[in-house]
Amino acid sequence: MKFMKLGTKPDSFQSDEDCIRYVASDLATDVVVNVVDVKFYLHKFPLLSKSARLQKLIAATVDEQSDAAEINIPDIPGGPPAFEMCAKFCYGMTVTLSAYNVVAARCAAEYLEMYESTESGNLVYKIEFFLSSSVLRSWKDSITVLQTTRTLHPWSEDVKKIDERCLESIASKAAAEPARVDWSYTYNRRKVSNDNGVARDWWVEDLAELSIDLYKRVVSTIRRKGGVSPEVIGEALEVYAAKRIQIDDDDDVDEQRCLLETLVSLLPSEKQSVSCGFLIKLLKSSVSLEDVRRKLSRRIGEKLEEASVDDLLIRASSEGCETVYNIDIVETLIDEFITQTKKRDELVCSDMSVSDSSKSIVAKLMDGYLAEISRIEPNFSTSKFIAIAEKVSCFPRSSHDGVYRAIDMFLKQHPGISKSEKKSICRLMDCRKLSQEACAHAVQNERLPLRVVVQILFFEQVRPTAKPLLPPSTSHGSSRKTTEEEECDSVTATEETTRDKTSSSEKTKAKGVVMSRIFSKLWAGKDRDGVGDVSRSDTSESPGSATTTVDDKSTPSTRRRRSPS
């Protein structure tokens, strides 16, 4: 930090209690200056020689019958401390200026009209020289000076535009090439360094110390001047948010609201400038702010494919909410993604590969989300499950293993749902797009309706004689491990071991055993219900419309295939 010493005489200011300051001298004081609640007992000559304002005030209040004049200056910027610095300068006493007090001294000197026209080498001139030659050339001093301007408005704006000069100095240094950075700065994060060891975002942590109003002015100035990429601006906002946003802090709602609104307004418009995870963190903190949430939802919808299942587990803010987690907001994000994707598809009609890739990733993301929210949300309704799944049902998928896993988890955690609800949920799954591993798990899954098990078994039977629709998938959606995944993995491992050790005739025999087990279930259910609806529905309905067509058309061939066995 830079310092500047003015004057050579020792400091002889003394205090009498907290509200009286005087100069220890053999000469009697002849003027009393009231600054707010502090009285200064001083001498006229030193003050009048350097302050034009004090000259006018004292001249207007002199009482011929009194030896001492008394004046009031309650509105001097910086208050008693700033006035005392100016008074010491008038007496020639030592005054030490630094980044912490230079703005207060400069504004007070302006108020007292301590110009060159009053005396050569006056305080205004000396402070301006110090600001220009030292303080504003220093990175950290410029930030410190800017922080001190908050308490001195509007003087800091009016007096030579000190705050604007600080903003320009900070913005110019932030935009400098990292190779030219040779000053001190704070950096405690993992470095992505250039050749000289300076990261491109070297300045973001120092600026995180600013209040939100000053931070907004600094970032706006940096963006206006240019030279800093949107990605670095995004990193700076993320660092500031991590330091300032307190998700569980209800003490100052207005301050948090202002903070969130300002950060959202500062977000660069470029899609890749901020991460989806950061946007969702802001969204989690602003669920009660309608305008902010709407803007963030649009931004997240542009890049929902970058989100993770953990990101979407957003707790509901209202105590009266029926669910622990905010499921409606996830629906909103999907809707925004669909809207943004349609807009991109209309603009780029020639190449749909990027759009299809994003849709495929989001489909897998939603499969994982449905499985996880089914597991942890006790009040997750069937209608919500179907609504979310249907929004992404037309998205391209390499397999429906993730859909199956989500359905299985929902059925496990909600055993009390009706048969019609089970059928509605299972219609979301295309049995033809299940991998062999998923089929092996499904045919032994007692939670699935019998018609679905038979459909899965049928398509598994015809798989070796037909061209495979899709390669086998080794994943059931989300990367989260659950008990159901372990069950499916164990079944898969058993099948693979059996597959390696048995001949083709043994495989056929094993498949027949599974068939007999399923049909035993069917006959048992038929006898229990007393109607033939199960056998009819096995061939008349399917989880999806496409499956229905295939199922109906292949009924005769199914009987032909099964007759030899």
The mean-pLDDT minimum among 14-18, 64-68, 272-276, 500-504 falls in 500-504
Task: Using the predicted structure, report yes or no on whether residue 486 has a pLDDT greater than 50.
Answer: no
Give the domain range for residue 323: 308-460
Can you spell out the DSSP letters for 195-223? TTS-BTTTTHHHHTTS-HHHHHHHHHHHH
Within 10 angstroms of residue 342's Cβ, the number of other Cβ atoms is 11
Sign of dihedral through CA atoms 298, 299, 304, 307? negative
Domain termination residue (choose one: 409, 436, 460): 460
The mean-pLDDT minimum among 82-96, 239-253, 382-396, 550-564 falls in 550-564
Task: Using the predicted structure, report yes or no on whether residue 167 has a pLDDT greater than 60.
Answer: yes
* Band of pLDDT at residue 515, cut at 50, 70 and 90: low
pLDDT of residue 178: 87
Residues 412/525, Cβ–Cβ less than 8 Å: no
Q: Cis (ω within 30 of 0) for the bond into 154? A: yes
For residue 276, which of 200, 351, 365, 402 has the smallest C-alpha distance? 365
Report the predicted TM-score, pTM, of the whole model to 2 decimal places.
Answer: 0.76
Domain termination residue (choose one: 415, 445, 460): 460
Give 48-90 pLDDT, tens digit per residue: 999 999 999 988 886 554 567 889 999 999 999 999 999 999 9
* Band of pLDDT at residue 563, cut at 50, 70 and 90: very low
Q: Does residue 300 lie within any of the structural domains? A: no
Task: Using the predicted structure, report yes or no on whether residue 184 has a pLDDT greater than 80.
Answer: yes
**Once rounded to an integer, what is the mean pLDDT over residues 421-436?**
93
pLDDT of residue 469: 36
Q: Does residue 21 lie within any of the structural domains? A: yes
Q: Does residue 288 lie within any of the structural domains? A: no
Q: Domain holding 72: CATH number? A: 3.30.710.10
Q: Does residue 182 lie within any of the structural domains? A: no
Residues in contact with 168: Cβ distance below 8 Å, sequence separation at least 6, in sequence order: 221, 225
Task: Using the predicted structure, report yes or no on whether residue 435 has a pLDDT greater than 60.
Answer: yes
DSSP-derived secondary structure letter, 477: S
Between 165 and 553, the more confident residue is: 165
Domain termination residue (choose one: 460, 476, 498): 460
* Band of pLDDT at residue 311, cut at 50, 70 and 90: very high
pLDDT of residue 316: 85
HSE, CB side, 13 Å, CA atoms: give it for residue 181.
Answer: 24
Residues 233/273, Cβ–Cβ less than 8 Å: yes
**Once rounded to an integer, what is the mean pLDDT over residues 457-478?**
55
> CA–CA separation, 405 vs 478, rounded Å?
9
Within 10 angstroms of residue 104's Cβ, the number of other Cβ atoms is 25
Task: Using the predicted structure, report yes or no on whether residue 315 has a pLDDT greater than 50.
Answer: yes
Task: Using the predicted structure, report yes or no on whether residue 525 has a pLDDT greater than 80.
Answer: no
Q: Does residue 520 lie within any of the structural domains? A: no
**Once rounded to an integer, what is the mean pLDDT over residues 509-523?**
52
For all residues of the chain together, what is the average pLDDT? 81
Highest mean pLDDT among 222-231, 458-467, 513-522: 222-231
**Once rounded to an integer, what is the mean pLDDT over residues 445-462?**
89
**Once rounded to an integer, what is the mean pLDDT over residues 477-497?**
39
pLDDT of residue 446: 92
The mean-pLDDT minimum among 209-218, 220-229, 532-541 falls in 532-541
> CA–CA separation, 477 vs 363, rounded Å?
9
Residues in contact with 553: Cβ distance below 8 Å, sequence separation at least 6, in sequence order: none
**Once rounded to an integer, what is the mean pLDDT over residues 372-399?**
94
Tokens at 409, concatenated: 């988890």
Q: How many domains does the chain have?
A: 2
> CA–CA separation, 19 vs 7, rounded Å?
25
Q: Does residue 119 lie within any of the structural domains? A: yes
Phi, psi of 94 (to 5 degrees): -70, 125
Q: Does residue 289 lie within any of the structural domains? A: no
In percent, how much of the chain has pLDDT > 70? 76
Q: Does residue 100 lie within any of the structural domains? A: yes
Task: Using the predicted structure, report yes or no on whether residue 111 has a pLDDT greater than 90.
Answer: yes
> CA–CA separation, 299 vs 320, rounded Å?
28
> CA–CA separation, 477 vs 370, rounded Å?
10
**Once rounded to an integer, what is the mean pLDDT over residues 346-351?**
60
pLDDT of residue 303: 92
The mean-pLDDT minimum among 29-33, 120-124, 528-532 falls in 528-532
Task: Using the predicted structure, report yes or no on whether residue 549 has a pLDDT greater than 50.
Answer: no
* Chain position carrying tokens 């907290």: 18
pLDDT of residue 170: 96
For residue 514, which of 495, 540, 541 has the smallest C-alpha distance? 495
* Band of pLDDT at residue 528, cut at 50, 70 and 90: very low
* Band of pLDDT at residue 461, cut at 50, 70 and 90: confident
**Once rounded to an integer, what is the mean pLDDT over residues 524-548?**
37
* Band of pLDDT at residue 352, cut at 50, 70 and 90: low
Q: Chain-centre distance of CA 418, in angstroms?
A: 40
The mean-pLDDT minimum among 156-165, 358-367, 471-480 falls in 471-480
Residues 538/451, Cβ–Cβ less than 8 Å: yes
Q: How far is CA 554 from CA 33, 158, 458, in A?
A: 104, 86, 10
Give 244-288 pLDDT, tens digit per residue: 887 555 557 788 889 999 999 999 999 889 999 999 999 998 877
Residues 237/220, Cβ–Cβ less than 8 Å: no
Phi, psi of 21 (to 5 degrees): -125, 140
Residues 105/130, Cβ–Cβ less than 8 Å: no
